[in-house]
Structure 1
Amino acid sequence: MSEFSFLATPEKGNVDAILLRPKKAIALLVLAHGAGADLHHRHMTALAEAFYEKNIATLRFNFPYMQQGKPRTDTPAICIETFTNAIGTARQKIKGVPLFIGGHSFGGRMSSHYIAETRDKRVTGLIFCSFPLHNPKKPETKRAEHLYDLETPMLFLSGTRDPMGDPSLIKPTIKKIMHARLHRLDTADHSYKILKRTRKSKEDVYAEAARVAASWITELNEHNRGK
């Protein structure tokens, strides 16, 4: 594990980051946190460690507002610039493996806005851990409208109890996206908390998410090598 900081934006200054690099990495994932918890939160740590076990390197980082202890999230423009510099930093640290970006909830959504804004062809795919399709009490799909014309492949890892991913909305929404796949994590909520008594699988929910992501990444890598 390597801890360091990088310049998020000239205006906002430096932010903290952590790199987890397995010896035989199959991919590099730039992983952003959700709206209310930083890169050190146990959920983000569990995600990064699970990906590490599946040979997926991760660079997770703070957005400036979180680094500064502010309650309000940064603007999309600030988040996009931060993603730009996080990706640049990640690429300096690890070269020669396919690049993916994503994150939990808000962080994943901002990664999609980065792609919508930049159309960065270096990014092989997007990985959304609990994509926040809508507010819990306001089911709608406006947050996904910018995804429909994106060519970048996407993987949605969403819990069956996620109040921000109504099954009646998220499934048809994903069908409208060119290259998207949905995996539903049984009994998991927005933070991947599960119901042990009713969950059908004995597999750890983070291990399941990482396994599915690794399989999808391998599939994409093989497809891209065959082009």
Structure 2
Amino acid sequence: MQEKAERAHKVHLNSGRYISAIESIVENPEWAFIYAPGAGSNIEDPFALSAAEKLAVHGIALIRFQFPFSERGSKSPDAEAVLLESWESIVNAFKDAAPRIVIGGRSLGGRIASSLIAKGQIVDALALFAYPLHPPGSPDRKRTEHFNTISIPTFFCSGTKDAFGSPAELESASSIITGSSLNLLEGADHGFRAGKLRAQAEVWEEAIGLFIAWLKQLSI
């Protein structure tokens, strides 16, 4: 098992802002996973912290960052243009962190990553945890208009009780991306909580395990 080690970074944006990033140090990683949290979290996202340790054991480095609104301590997300600029700057800063790069994150973080890919950003794979397919109660407002321009391996992982997208809706949406992988966490909601059914740590472990297995399959 590799010893846990991290390195902090400041990545400057063209707008003059900067964003914080933390890189888990893994010796000779095959993959680096660049991760952005959901709107309600930040660089200390608990799911990312749990993932970093498990990924490192398998030789996968995790680079987590936060958007400018989190740097300011605000709970209101930045305009989409700023979120996209943040993602683009982070990818450019860490594009050589490993031979293969996968980007994504939870909810908002993953959604903006998918938009960046649709706009032509070149990476090896995309990982979408708890993708916010539509606002709760508004299934007609689907956020899939860009999916048909995504052509890289894409990993979806959501709970079966996620109010932002039912299993059937996610199956339909994920099928737009050729060769995507849809993984469902039984009983889990948008926050990967499963109530009395099972502990959140167990849900996280399942999600991370599925992701690791998927990356290993891509490496064959």
TM over 0.5: yes
Q: Give the drift of 1:171.
A: 1.2
In structure 1, give the amino acid aligned to 2:158.
Answer: S
Gaps in structure 1 of 5+ consecutive residues:
223-227
CA distance in 2 between counterparts of 1:15 and 1:202 reads 29
Give the match for residue 9 of structure 2: 4
Contact kept, 8 Å, 2:128 with 2:156, in 1: the verdict is yes
Q: Does 1:89 align with 2:66?
A: no
Per the normalisation by structure 1, the TM-score is: 0.86
SS in 1 for 2:83: helix
Superposition deviation, residue 155 in structure 1: 0.4
1:73 aligns with 2:74: no
In 1, the alpha carbon distance for the partners of 2:152 and 2:78 equals 24
Shift of 1:76: 2.0
Larger RCO, structure (CA 8 Å, separation 6 or more) = 1
Query: Does the 8 Å CA contact 1:141/1:173 hold for their aligned counterparts?
Result: no
Distance 1:177 1:33 in 2: 22
Query: Aligned-pair distance for 1:174?
Result: 1.4
Q: Is the 8 A contact 2:118 2:146 kept in 1?
A: yes
Of residues 208, 211, 220, the one that matches 2:209 is 211
Number of aligned positions between the proteins? 215
Q: What aligned pairs does 1:116-155 form with structure 2 within 5 A after superposition?
A: 116-117=118-119, 119-121=120-122, 123-140=123-140, 142-155=142-155
Q: Structure 1 residues 202 and 19, CA, compared in 2 at 3 Å: closer, same or farther?
A: closer
Gaps of 5+ in 2: 1-5
The aligned residue for residue 39 of structure 2 is 35
Q: In the TM superposition, what whole-angstrom CA distance separates every residue of 1:64-108 from its partner, at most 9, and x where no partner exists?
A: 11111223212222122111111122235x24x210000110000
CA distance in 1, matches of 2:185, 2:57: 19
Identify if the C-alpha distance between structure 1 residues 207 and 22 changes in structure 2 by more than 3 Å, giving closer, same or farther: farther
Shift of 1:48: 2.9
- After TM superposition, the structure 1 stretch with the greater mean CA deviation from structure 2, 213-222 or 30-39, is 213-222
Q: Secondary structure at the match of 2:184?
A: strand
Per the alignment, residue 225 of structure 1 pairs with none
